[in-house]
Amino acid sequence: MSSGAYVQSDVEKRKQISIRGIAPVENVSNIKKTFNRHLHYTLVKDRNVATPRDYYYALAHTVRDHLTGRWIRTQQHYYEKDPKRVYYLSLEFYMGRTLSNTMELEEIEDDAGLGNGGLGRLAACFLDSMATLGLAAYGYGIRYDYGIFAQKIENGWQVEEPDEWLRYGNPWEKARPEYVLPINFFGRVEEKDGKKKWVDTMVVFAMPYDSPIPGYGNNTVNTMRLWSAKAPNSFNLRFFNNGEYINAFFEGKELRLKQEYFLVAATLQDIIRRFKSSRFGSRDPVRTSFEAFPEKVAIQLNDTHPAMAIPELLRILVDIEGIPWERAWAITVKSCAYTNHTVLPEALERWPTSLLETLLPRHLQIMYYINHLFLEKKFPGDEARLRRMSIVEEYGEKKINMAHLAIVGSHAINGVAAIHSEIIKSNTFKDFYEMFPDRFQNKTNGITPRRWLLLRLGDGPVPAEGAEAENKMKLAEYIKTTYNIEVNLSSIFDIHVKRIHEYKRQLLNCMHIIHMYNEIKKDPNKAVVPRTIMIGGKAAPGYHMAKLIIKLITQVGSVVNNDPIVGDKLKIVYLENYRVSLAEKIMPAADLSEQISTAGTEASGTGNMKFMLNGALTIGTLDGANVEMREEMGDKNIFIFGMTVDEVEDLKKKGIIMRAMLRFNPLLWSKMCLHNIASSGKFSSDRTISEYARDIWGTEPTEFKLPAPHESPLEYNDSPDAAAAKK
Ligand SMILES: *Cc1c(COP(=O)(O)O)cnc(C)c1O
């Protein structure tokens, strides 16, 4: 690109407020006015006493105002056109920050950390792509008071601190106390004239909080609706204090099951309310309303966590709407689809029937009935198969296998990368694949380029390597100020960031560090390519082995980093508190991406894709999406090592794992980087979501491009959704 008037200086860029996901700011003086108005009226501060946080909040409110017209218009459009709605149900939405700009204010925003890792971040990327593709989609989740803990490393050990992300309020969300819904728990099942009724329940309320999800370049603004638990007023007046009642209710071993049902029950009430107010629901007298339900509603289950949606939908259709079982079952299966995210047996959900018996007695009956109809009836006499496929596990403590429930109750089941989808069919759910071959699909994961394309190639006069060097310098500064470690800018930034888990093999990386250290010590004069190895990630608080791995890495690091013989040939940095906003700092500065899970264990991985998109080379195993990344870029442009899935299966007897040799030739390296970036297109979540829409949801991106609000002023009447809710 030529230099001159069109090339903005960095300083100019920094002054400009650019907001992710919405059209460029059209009218700077209007924005300034709105900003000042919010500082004055919303935050009640003047310029003398306002803190940077006040400025951040004033800016956030200004941006939200800018989205509001588009948001209302989009929802009106959905109400009028009544397209098929997609409901993405997830116990996690790992959103990170909403406001992005080049100013310091960005750092004030707390991450919305309502997730643990890949699964929750996938849900966030999917929301972005669904809005960008113009799908009438909703994210439904839980508004946890605390996000994932903040990780501190003290004396090499992980220490967890609560993440009070709502401490200063959340400027992006809109509370909707007027749409509170009751959620039932406990109680018993009554039978009257052959009809079942769930009675004497305990009630908790679900209050929705809505956040806007702007599409890129299309004026679509979808909704993420998160439910917050509130105690009913009647309890308030009795001996329970509001907060204490809720805190006591959502506590203990069954907390997770309560949360799962809470999300499902609130969301299904909302879905059915919206369906009934649509043309195909009660408004159309010609059609039997619920027959059209699967044509108007797609419910995607992000893992089995929201799989109680299956018995809950059946309960509503049969017990409340009075639909015969056979029809209710067909409606449920056609509406629901299940994404499997792992084959690790310890991560497959199983709920004790004793717990369900007390907490959700009617749902337990329904699940027994599903099991009876669809398994016991189908395989009379084949005891072994019956036991393998049963929704009810009878060995040891009696449990409900949630994956089996989700498979039987869904019309589509998908894995998240080609290799993973094959493993599911040939191994994990083999019997189910034989029974329902047409239900099994693959949808290789993706990431949204709007958040993750961080390395801006050819932006102005700075060539690719120049941009990379600048990003490395920024990360080096962060490391210097945060950990007081000097890193060698010409070293390879070798990065391994993800949750700490044995299958992800941070230990293998640690062994390699020890090996490199020993090599340097053996022959200090030998020429080596200097490396800075950065490892980061949180360990689950109760996962002792993962915490030991962190301790080992940090201890090895302190030996390596303080050895004068090593100097700047090798440095180890533990990146504390790995989270979305830290990932955004790391990805564009990486040279080498570590994706070294044991073949057959990482279902897809998405961290691998973020690195690829930003030009880092991958050292990895033939696992998850690495396999497809290699297909896209060609095997000359990736460092693959270790065993294949089949060899791992054989090995569970012998073995040694060799690490790939890095060919370090700066020119070749740059070439490989460009091959990586240029072939990363497949891993956009826009591609993933287009496939879900076509093959699972049966939806089309809506054909319209909404005009921006200023082109066609809004009439501020009641939102149609709101009007419908009041009926
Ligand atoms: C992308 C991402 C992950 C997932 O990383 P994997 O390497 O696929 O496990 C986890 N945490 C954060 C913060 C992420 O951004």
For a substitution probing ligand 1, which of 116, 497, 586 has the most ligand atoms within 8 Å of its CB? 497
Give residue 403's domain range: 320-443
Cα(123)–Cα(86) distance, rounded to whole angstroms? 13
Is 199 contained in some domain? no
396: left (phi over 0), alpha (psi -120 to 50) or beta: left
Cα(333)–Cα(428) distance, rounded to whole angstroms? 21
Can you tell me which atom of ligand 1 is nearest the CA of 579? 13
Q: Is the CB of 606 under 6 A from ligand 1?
A: yes
How much distance in Å is there from the Cα of 121 to the middle of ligand 1? 7
Residue 553 DSSP symbol: H
Q: Is the CB of 580 under 6 A from ligand 1?
A: yes
SS (H, E, C) 288-354: CHHHHHHHHEEEEEECCCCCCHHHHHHHHHHHHCCCCHHHHHHHHHHHEEEECCCCCHHHCCEEEHH
424 with 480, same domain: the answer is no
Q: Is the CB of 115 under 6 A from ligand 1?
A: no
Q: Is the CB of 83 under 6 A from ligand 1?
A: no
Cα(460)–Cα(470) distance, rounded to whole angstroms? 14
**Last residue of one domain, picked from the residues 417, 443, 469:** 443
586 with 474, same domain: the answer is yes
- State yes or no: is 499 an active-site residue: yes
- State yes or no: is 341 an active-site residue: yes
- State yes or no: is 601 an active-site residue: no
367 with 340, same domain: the answer is yes
How much distance in Å is there from the Cα of 498 to the middle of ligand 1? 5
How much distance in Å is there from the Cα of 590 to the middle of ligand 1? 15
Q: How high is the pLDDT of residue 231?
A: 84
565 with 464, same domain: the answer is yes
Is 80 contained in some domain? no
* Beta-ladder partners of 550: none
- Tell the residue nearest (CA) to atom 4 of ligand 1: 118
543 with 617, same domain: the answer is yes
- Tell the residue nearest (CA) to atom 10 of ligand 1: 117
421 with 487, same domain: the answer is no
Contacts of 262 (CB under 8 A, 6+ apart): 142, 183, 204, 206, 227, 229
**Last residue of one domain, picked from the residues 652, 668, 686:** 686
667 with 554, same domain: the answer is yes
Is 669 contained in some domain? yes
* Beta-ladder partners of 230: 205
* Residue 377 amino acid letter: K
For a substitution probing ligand 1, which of 93, 125, 498 has the most ligand atoms within 8 Å of its CB? 498
427 with 482, same domain: the answer is no
Is 284 contained in some domain? no
Q: How high is the pLDDT of residue 247?
A: 62
Q: How high is the pLDDT of residue 251?
A: 62
User: What are the E-state strand segments in 390-460?
Assistant: 392-393, 399-401, 412-415, 440-442
Cα(536)–Cα(495) distance, rounded to whole angstroms? 8
How much distance in Å is there from the Cα of 268 to the middle of ligand 1? 29
Q: Is the CB of 505 under 6 A from ligand 1?
A: no
Q: How many CB atoms lie within 10 A of CB 681?
A: 13
549 with 668, same domain: the answer is yes
Is 559 contained in some domain? yes
CATH number of the structural domain spanning residue 624: 3.40.50.2000
The DSSP code sequence of 84-146 is PEEEEE-S-EEEE-S---SSGGGGGSPPEEES-SHHHHHHHHHHHHHHHTT--EEEEEE--SS
Q: Is the CB of 294 under 6 A from ligand 1?
A: no
- What φ, ψ does residue 225 adopt, rounded to 5°? -110, 115
418 with 498, same domain: the answer is no
Q: How high is the pLDDT of residue 458?
A: 54
- State yes or no: is 515 an active-site residue: no
Q: How high is the pLDDT of residue 19?
A: 44
How much distance in Å is there from the Cα of 118 to the middle of ligand 1? 5
Cα(6)–Cα(460) distance, rounded to whole angstroms? 9
Can you tell me which atom of ligand 1 is nearest the CA of 583? 15
What total of structural domains would you count in the chain?
2
User: In whole angstroms, what separates CA 361 from the centre of its chain?
Assistant: 31
- State yes or no: is 504 an active-site residue: yes
Q: Which residue in 77, 85, 143, 341 is the catalytic one?
A: 341
Sheet holding 350-352, edge to edge: 350-352, 399-401, 392-393
Cα torsion angle, 262, 267, 268, 269, sign: positive
The tens digit of pLDDT for each residue in 637-685 reads 999 999 899 988 887 776 556 666 677 899 999 999 999 999 999 999 9
Is 227 contained in some domain? no
Q: How many CB atoms lie within 10 A of CB 699?
A: 19
How much distance in Å is there from the Cα of 606 to the middle of ligand 1? 6
Q: How high is the pLDDT of residue 61?
A: 95
Integer CA distances (angstroms), 59 to 36, 39, 109, 392, 453, in order: 9, 9, 11, 53, 24
Is 469 contained in some domain? yes
Is 143 contained in some domain? no
- State yes or no: is 551 an active-site residue: no
Cα(534)–Cα(568) distance, rounded to whole angstroms? 14
**Beta-carbon-side half-sphere exposure of residue 367 (alpha carbons within 13 Å):** 30
585 with 547, same domain: the answer is yes
Q: Which residue in 98, 132, 339, 606 is the catalytic one?
A: 606
- Which stretches in the chain have pLDDT values below 50? 1-23, 25, 236-243, 286-287, 711-727
How much distance in Å is there from the Cα of 613 to the middle of ligand 1? 14
pTM of the prediction?
Answer: 0.92
Contacts of 298 (CB under 8 A, 6+ apart): 84, 85, 86, 87, 335, 337, 696, 697, 698, 699
375 with 497, same domain: the answer is no
